[in-house]
A and B are shown apart, each in its own frame.
Chain A
């Protein structure tokens, strides 16, 4: 949808990758640069790329052709390592950890699904790699292929414990990769439909959810999984089925996690914001913060099966919670930037997220805070693909540091 409105965000597109179509992962490195996993979701035979944006110089750098670096060339006939999903995480030593993901088709094919190709020795996905990228040297260390056939949907870094944890796709297994021993451990299946976020509390316990929205807690001290009785909120008229998490971000004080449901075309379900307080009670407490953004003009949520996707949760230096949500009830339809006062829960619509031609973003995946006071939102479903930067009017520049960047994808 084209509009003549002025965008409140600055678009940054990766024009050297004209066929790539999605940016699933975004984070901020210790050097203050914004790092993005540029992915090829809809065209066979593509590699994912690691790209950076330097807010200081306003320059994009193309850093790494990931699949080639991992010796998984995109034209080898296998499903491609064409994505870094929610699996790009900064380390305090300045490097970045990443994991590759599947669903990109083999070269020449127009579709690929893991179930259809599981036992196909040619078209199968060889299994996600975990790697470490050092921006200072430009070198990538490949820790190898972890689990044949599977991709890594979401990942978190338990830095004090020197472990990466995540969930695989499609079998939805929880995994642990020990960075000291290079040992991969599969802790088994946790659900059927992938949760889209694995988040940490301040003690580096990791959390995600099962298909009914119950929290699954990983303890990095003993590598155990526990299924909690704490559950993501859901509307009273639902039974909590497919109550999955999409995005999550820590509060500025690190005591709480703010999150939102996964709600997109194939999962037209709840779209509520919630806050999880891990230390409130033996298993923590979930607080329902209501529908992410739904003014009265949108009508009752139960009456439609529209796209309500919300993503890109990030706290600004002004203390507001920012996120992007799909607005379908008015023109122009597309992703809009919202900010919420977490004390009053009041939402404010800041405007559509659109490029310089007035084309609205169709999907915002995740976001990251910049050390320059801006926030950066990863966009999907455009060619070329890119990110959007938003600078609050009263931004406290330089307030954020690496400590404010979440250690999960």
Chain B
């Protein structure tokens, strides 16, 4: 048997693209310069370059400790009437925090549950009442919590060391947490799903009382997201990518007989992953879990249109409608590398913008996101849901 050393002597090696030389040894060849330029562009090209991205620590950088690793996965975001962003985290403890754009920093308000998931489960009412809810991992202790408090409309700084006075609300089903919440300003009512059976409920913000409507799916398969349409109906997803609606006038759930798109043969794996309302048109935009195919849902017309697939990844873990009329979303599986994408309804342009990379407060690549919301000035907030989470802020490019 030939020794490795003898074998190496007979090898034909690949041709190196670059010569190794010290900096003082003169200019690289023309070919090397071309390849070098290509590498420079290649390195930048994976990241979002259209618009600008910053991230903020979950705490005033350099002044207080941020929300600790393991407790800082940002999984819920909502904008209050003052334009401040209220968020909740998941992990060993769930925190409530507020970001005030005027002072450009996050304040950790309090913790409100342990070993908990608070995903898509923070809403803020028109009078500033925050409702936040949690659920547990399957097999976890307890069921979850639902709390409310009224935001103080003074500047964030006046929160000081005092904590908001949380009021505990009764869970709609005591042995189940909350899978998601959404809010209808016209009725000052929140709507949600319980975490195990997917039972739809209404929650009166003023009284804190709830009303159980019933499971949205016969097999208990449901999406953990809801959206209120311009018609006041609540829309959501169930098994195999099917859509349902809740009519608050009738107090009833109705199956729409519509399904969101996926690749062929993969409908069984598909559910609505995230969905957002374009208030200007009444149209909704969302993506599916199976393949991350973006879709348009027009409740008034009763139709779903496939818009294509913005990235090569599965999932559409978060989506929002920008003030510029464009749709912004995040795709990518858990444990992967997230990509931000946009869809322009006017031109039909569907584009992968790249991996979110911030250089301020700190150089940081965002790999995991599970919530997005559009701010009062058109900025897009993205909740980073990694072991170490941050609040990312994306400023879309103007005038494109």
| A115 interface residue (CB < 8 Å to B) | yes
| A62 lies within 8 A of B5 (CB) | yes
B39-59 vs A, CB cutoff 8 Å, 1 = contact: the mask equals 100110111000000000000
Q: Which of A1, A44, A383 meets B14, CB within 8 Å?
A: A44
Chain B residues in 8 Å Cβ range of A251: none
Q: Which residues of B, 1-27, contact A by the 8 Å Cβ criterion? A: 4-5, 8-9, 13-18, 20, 22-25
Q: Which of B8, B16, B69, B363 meets A193, CB within 8 Å?
A: B363
Q: Which of A21, A110, A188, A362 meets B387, CB within 8 Å?
A: A188
Q: Is the interface of A mostly helix, strand, loop or mixed?
A: loop
Q: Which of A21, A64, A118, A359 meets B336, CB within 8 Å?
A: A118
| A45 lies within 8 A of B22 (CB) | no
Chain B residues in 8 Å Cβ range of A381: 20
| B22 lies within 8 A of A65 (CB) | no
Question: Range of interface residues on chain B?
Answer: 35 or more
| B141 interface residue (CB < 8 Å to A) | no
| B337 lies within 8 A of A115 (CB) | yes
Q: Considering only CB atoms, which chain A residue lies closest to B24 in the complex? A: A1
Chain A residues in 8 Å Cβ range of B69: 188-190, 225, 227
Knowing A44-B14, A192-B364, A225-B69 are in contact, say whether A119-B45 is a contact too (CB < 8 A). Answer: no
- In the bound assembly, the distance between CA atoms of A378 and B8 in angstroms comes to 21
Chain B residues in 8 Å Cβ range of A46: 13-14
Q: Considering only CB atoms, which chain A residue lies closest to B25 in the complex? A: A1
| A21 lies within 8 A of B20 (CB) | yes
| B14 lies within 8 A of A192 (CB) | no
Chain A residues in 8 Å Cβ range of B365: 115, 170, 192
- Cβ of A54 to closest chain B Cβ, rounded Å: 14
| A333 lies within 8 A of B22 (CB) | yes
- In the bound assembly, the distance between CA atoms of A43 and B365 in angstroms comes to 27
| B388 lies within 8 A of A113 (CB) | no
| Stretch binding the partner chain, chosen from A12-20, A23-31, A84-92, A338-346 | A12-20
Chain B residues in 8 Å Cβ range of A107: 14
A118-141 vs B, CB cutoff 8 Å, 1 = contact: the mask equals 111000000000000000000000
| B20 lies within 8 A of A190 (CB) | no
Chain B residues in 8 Å Cβ range of A212: 362
- In the bound assembly, the distance between CA atoms of A382 and B25 in angstroms comes to 13
| B62 lies within 8 A of A239 (CB) | yes
Chain B residues in 8 Å Cβ range of A19: 13-14, 16
| B33 interface residue (CB < 8 Å to A) | no
Q: Considering only CB atoms, which chain A residue lies closest to B19 in the complex? A: A383
Of all A-B residue pairs in the complex, the 7 with the closest CB atoms, nearest first, are A188-B387, A110-B17, A115-B46, A16-B8, A43-B16, A19-B13, A119-B312
Q: What 5 additional pairs, Cβ within 8 angstroms, besides A110-B38, A119-B312?
A: A110-B18, A110-B39, A113-B46, A170-B365, A333-B22
